[in-house]
Amino acid sequence: MTHPLFEEAKQYIVGGVNSPVRAFTGVGGEPLFVESAQGARVHASDGRAYIDYVGSWGPMIGGHSRPEVIEAVQRAASRGLSFGAPTEVETAMAKRICELVPSIERVRMVNSGTEATMTAIRLARGYTGRERVVKFEGNYHGHSDSLLVKAGSGALTQGVPNSPGVPAGLADLTMTLPYNDLDAVRQAFAEKGDEIACIIVEPVAGNMNCIPPEAGFLEGLKSVCEEYGAVLIFDEVMTGFRLAPGGAQEWAGVTPHLTTLGKIVGGGMPVGALGGQQKIMEYLSPMGPVYQAGTLSGNPLGMAAGLAMMDIISEPGFHARLDQRTAQLCDGLLEAAREAGIPLRINRVPGMFGLFFTDEQGPISRFSQVSACDQDRFKRFFHGMLEQGVYLAPSAFEAGFVSSAHSEQDIASTVDAARTVMARL
């Protein structure tokens, strides 16, 4: 029987959801309806609490309903919701971003990750006077036209990595290359380097499951960009503030020319940002000719929530603990799989992981390997874990997220659940 809340939602909302992956089409069945969330758990309308590894798709790195964040939003709300004029808190946010991410010298706040990446590539095109954009297969940068080409995340889950509605003329300007394949990048630049405005890349891919960069890949992208005068954009909407206080660029030791941010930067509110070298950022309006604007950009509630979340991730030892919890989870899951004789590989970076049901023995570093994984087994695992009270991302193409609120006991319970589920997979 269809869940009555989902049934009613479908009468009014397209597909019953406001973002496709939530619909559970990647795993079958019906979505959880969440009523509230606290710490590492979401409380659903079925009356159950689930240990949550979705974390609102990333923002909840400190756990749900952190009092510091909620109180900051409440204080901000008591002063008014939006002014459409500059506020001090926007400067505080920009200053904080520049301190945490040293490659960022100037910032522009927007309302989502999609807006951040859309603006970043327009800026790169305006700055270089070139039109082509290089992206990687299975990377997802939101749903703007130029970037919805061979895209990951929900586009993969729904089987529409090239969406109808994207003008062919625009899609033709997007060159899509295999992730972790530097030779393909060098070849593309050798052929069309003087037409390429930018490379945009997830420095750790999290939208085709979790794929870290191979040694030298990000460094290679930077040197190709510098050789040909193109802009290197790290899309850190997912990895920003997660892998390290300064994001994946700090973790990997490679700095891009521009960075896009989202998720954690808004602490759970709809916020995105882009930033980078002053000489490029000053091409943006009102200083430069590249236009960009937003009625609600720099919204005081979003800034308050984001700043409170920045305080949380800046606590000494925060990322080391997150990494340790992520390792505990992944080691436990691998052990459970080994006991059950289930072939499983796991990729992990601090606070992020990906499960691959595959017989492959070597590292999983390519999109082609992800798409060859046993999706049916993932679906059975997902539903088994849900039954056991563990909420994983409802798609084999999404990374999982660990928060600082996941206790050792939560992780141990998750591994116990996996042992039960794997025994009958």
Residue 338 CB: number of other CB atoms within 10 A? 12
Closest alpha carbon to 109 in 277, 231, 270: 270
**Subset of residues 21 to 40 that bind ligand LHPZP3FS, contact rule: CB under 6 A:** 21
398 part of the interface to ligand LHPZP3FS, by CB under 6 A: yes
Closest alpha carbon to 31 in 54, 59, 63: 54
Name which of ligand LHPZP3FS, ligand PLP, none residue 117 binds, using a CB cut-off of 5 to 8 Å depending on partner kind: ligand PLP
112 part of the interface to ligand LHPZP3FS, by CB under 6 A: no
Q: Judged by CB, which is closer to ligand LHPZP3FS: 393, or 411? A: 393
Question: Minimum CB separation from ligand LHPZP3FS for residue 19, in Å?
Answer: 3
Name which of ligand PLP, ligand LHPZP3FS, none residue 262 binds, using a CB cut-off of 5 to 8 Å depending on partner kind: ligand PLP
Applying CB under 6 A, which of residues 101, 196, 238, 305 lies at the interface with ligand LHPZP3FS? Answer: 238
Applying CB under 6 A, which of residues 6, 50, 53, 57 lies at the interface with ligand LHPZP3FS? Answer: 57
154 part of the interface to ligand LHPZP3FS, by CB under 6 A: yes
261 φ, ψ to 5°?
A: -130, 160
Closest residue to ligand LHPZP3FS, judged by C-beta, is 19
Applying CB under 6 A, which of residues 117, 128, 207, 255 lies at the interface with ligand LHPZP3FS? Answer: 207
Query: CB neighbours of 396 closer than 8 A, spacing ≥ 6?
Result: 26, 209, 370, 373, 375, 378, 379
Q: Judged by CB, which is closer to ligand LHPZP3FS: 44, or 238? A: 238
3-state secondary structure of 348: strand
Catalytic residues: 140, 235, 263
Are the beta carbons of 380 and 424 closer than 8 angstroms? no
Closest alpha carbon to 113 in 242, 257, 240: 240
Applying CB under 6 A, which of residues 112, 128, 153, 176 lies at the interface with ligand LHPZP3FS? Answer: 153
Closest alpha carbon to 139 in 188, 56, 189, 210: 210
118 part of the interface to ligand LHPZP3FS, by CB under 6 A: no
Name which of ligand PLP, ligand LHPZP3FS, none residue 174 binds, using a CB cut-off of 5 to 8 Å depending on partner kind: none
- CA distances to 59, 139, 285, 306, 411 from 272, rounded to whole Å, are 11, 18, 17, 10, 30
Q: Is residue 389 left, alpha or beta, with left meaning phi > 0 and alpha meaning psi from -120 to 50?
A: left
Secondary structure percentages of the chain, helix, strand, coil, to 5: 40, 15, 40
Closest alpha carbon to 407 in 334, 324, 341: 324
Dmax over CA atoms of the chain, in Å, equals 61
Question: Minimum CB separation from ligand LHPZP3FS for residue 155, in Å?
Answer: 9
List residues binding ligand PLP (CB under 6 A): 112-114, 117, 140-142, 202, 206-207, 235, 237-238, 262, 272
Q: Judged by CB, which is closer to ligand LHPZP3FS: 238, or 312? A: 238
Question: Minimum CB separation from ligand PLP for residue 351, in Å?
Answer: 14
Residue 64 CB: number of other CB atoms within 10 A? 23
Query: What is the C-alpha separation between 322 and 327, in angstroms, rounded?
Result: 9
Name which of ligand LHPZP3FS, ligand PLP, none residue 142 binds, using a CB cut-off of 5 to 8 Å depending on partner kind: ligand PLP
Q: Judged by CB, which is closer to ligand PLP: 119, or 128? A: 119
Question: Minimum CB separation from ligand LHPZP3FS for residue 399, in Å?
Answer: 8
Residues that bind ligand LHPZP3FS (CB under 6 A): 19, 21, 57, 140, 153-154, 207, 238, 398
